[in-house]
Amino acid sequence: MGSDPWRRVLDTIAAYILYYRTTQYQYQLDITGLFKGIGAAMQSLTFEGYGGVHLKGDAFGAPDDPAVVLLPTAGQSRAFWHAAAQALAAAGRYAICIDLRGHGESEHAADGRYDLDVYAGDLRAILHALPSRAVVVAAGMSAIVALAAVGESAPHIVSGLAFVDLTIWFNAAQTERLSKALTLRTESFADQAAVLAAIAAMHPQEPPPAAKAQILAAFSQDENGRYQWRGDPRALAGTGFLGAGERLESAAKRLAVPVTLIRGQLNESIPADTTQRLQALIPGAEIAEVEGAGHYAATEREEIFNAILLDFLERKVPRVPFAYTGGSEPRVLRDALGCFATGVTIVTTHDPAGAPIGLTANSFTSVSLDPPLILFSLAKNSGNLQSFTSAGRFAVNVLQIGQQPAANTFARRDAPRFESIDWALRDADGSPIITGALASFDCRTWSVHDGGDHVVFIGEVKQAWFEPHRDPLLYFRGKYRRLHFS
């Protein structure tokens, strides 16, 4: 811990207390963990999930490091992920292991709901409570939940996805077998061997689970010494979402973040071709196999699994920011520029025949108040470049939140742009003004400059109008956004 271990401990406690005061979820410290080494410290967390259900979690690492949320499959507890979480923390990640609703120490659902929608709502609530976008690592049923939660909502709620032993296609025999095996967990067991035998029965053709501590953490002993599953039996009774294949296929196609599909090589219920079929649905997804493992790859082949996961994170969601140097990959520079949030505009003018033309642009800024100057830039390969150059005038229309359809229309090359919106000329010598825009600036072209692969147009504002009671349409990291007021 360095030359001054007590100072590091106190600084860490202070940092966690500060973090507690600034987050949206309750925070409790396991102070004793700090004295076992900062890397091994474990903090207890409580999140408020869908419908107010409280979800328990354990976190490893520093809260200001990139977050990774780890979800166990049905019937398991958050302790299943503790070893992986410690490895992630040692690699500079903030790893958070969660008990699903009705599992472990998380609350039971008072209304008895344990369907796909509420599980997905729980995950979204957790992700929105975190101060930064997290990577989600999810196994089995939780992988289905994470697929739905991200694919059916805004994809930017996560920075990456690692699906472990995921399939979205189940036949009747598989569904019946899994349902019976999960229900069996809710019985009373005489000893640990009986517990492990019942769990092994779920996948009889695979190596039985040997990581006893992680598996048995989902069970507790009663006063008679018998083992009981720590959860709501109703949480293991429903397998209705196993028939949501078409819904999940649609969600998979909409994923827009780095994705890896990790499977145990000996997984008999999820063969390699099933994983390849899923990979074909998910844009850019990759596959990794853990040799000699079945459904328990994360614990049976711990070092191999952790190496695969860390490799994916460092390549696709690195802790160190991406760097651009002159002459390197232009996409990196584009992504860096995309970190600057902007408004969205439609820039308009007339072509030589007098017909209105326009296009969507976010390269707009003010230049000067005296004289009143603004600018926008236009790509040199734009088909409208000559019209804007020769017109001697243009207008910039700043869009409000309800005008996203107009922004999409004017961004397409082949769309009949002005036929689908209301517009007007407010001056006989002016340019088209979009009705209902947040603000519009009617300009005379002041100057035109070469700007590399773009041309920079500076305009002198002749007239301007604005609406003070609307919110702007925003653009950030390639997506439309909205203002969030706190």
Model confidence over 375-394: pLDDT tens digits?
999 999 999 999 999 999 99
Per the DSSP assignment, residues forming a β-bridge with 59 are 43, 96
What is the C-alpha separation between 97 and 69, in angstroms, rounded?
Answer: 6
Per the DSSP assignment, residues forming a β-bridge with 58 are 44, 97
Looking at residue 87, its pLDDT comes to 94
Weakest mean pLDDT among 53-67, 154-168, 232-246, 403-417? 232-246
Residue 414 has pLDDT above 50, yes or no: yes
Between 370 and 323, name the one with better pLDDT: 370
Mean pLDDT computed over every residue of the chain: 85
Neighbours of 447 (CB within 10 A): 11
Comparing CA positions, the residue from 481, 391, 473, 378 lying closest to residue 434 is: 473
Question: Where, residue-wise, is CATH 3.40.50.1820 in the chain?
Answer: 5-316
Calculate mean pLDDT across residues 306-316.
94
Query: Taking a C-beta distance cutoff of 8 angstroms, is the pair 188, 209 a contact?
Result: no
Distances (CA, A) of 57 to 43, 48, 126, 291: 8, 11, 10, 30
Residue 8 has pLDDT above 70, yes or no: no
What is the C-alpha separation between 203 and 200, in angstroms, rounded?
Answer: 6
Looking at residue 456, its pLDDT comes to 97
Looking at residue 327, its pLDDT comes to 65
Domain 336-481 has CATH 2.30.110.10: yes
Residue 86 has pLDDT above 80, yes or no: yes
Between 334 and 421, name the one with better pLDDT: 421
* Percentage with pLDDT > 70 across the chain: 87
DSSP state, residue 294:
S
Calculate mean pLDDT across residues 240-261.
88
Calculate mean pLDDT across residues 418-427.
90
Question: Where, residue-wise, is CATH 2.30.110.10 in the chain?
Answer: 336-481
Weakest mean pLDDT among 63-77, 191-205, 261-275? 191-205
Domain 5-316 has CATH 3.50.50.100: no
Residue 25 has pLDDT above 60, yes or no: no
> pLDDT confidence of 482, banded at 50, 70, 90?
confident
Residue 469 has pLDDT above 90, yes or no: no
> pLDDT confidence of 240, banded at 50, 70, 90?
low
What is 146-173 written as a DSSP string?
HHHHHHTS-GGGEEEEEEES------HH
> pLDDT confidence of 367, banded at 50, 70, 90?
very high
Residue 31 has pLDDT above 70, yes or no: no
> pLDDT confidence of 38, banded at 50, 70, 90?
very low
Query: Taking a C-beta distance cutoff of 8 angstroms, is the pair 455, 380 a contact?
Result: yes
Comparing CA positions, the residue from 97, 94, 95, 93 lying closest to residue 105 is: 97
Calculate mean pLDDT across residues 395-401.
96
Calculate mean pLDDT across residues 48-62.
95
**How much is the pTM?**
0.65
* Percentage with pLDDT > 90 across the chain: 58
Which helix (H) or strand (E) is 251 found in, with range? helix 245-253
DSSP state, residue 472:
B
Identify the top-confidence range among 130-134, 202-206, 410-414, 458-462: 458-462
Pairing of strands 433-434, 423-424: antiparallel
What is the C-alpha separation between 46 and 176, in angstroms, rounded?
Answer: 34
Distances (CA, A) of 361 to 108, 377, 410, 414, 472: 50, 8, 9, 16, 14
Looking at residue 328, its pLDDT comes to 59
Calculate mean pLDDT across residues 148-168.
89
Between 194 and 164, name the one with better pLDDT: 164
> pLDDT confidence of 26, banded at 50, 70, 90?
very low
Q: HSE-up of 47 (CA within 13 Å, CB side)?
A: 24
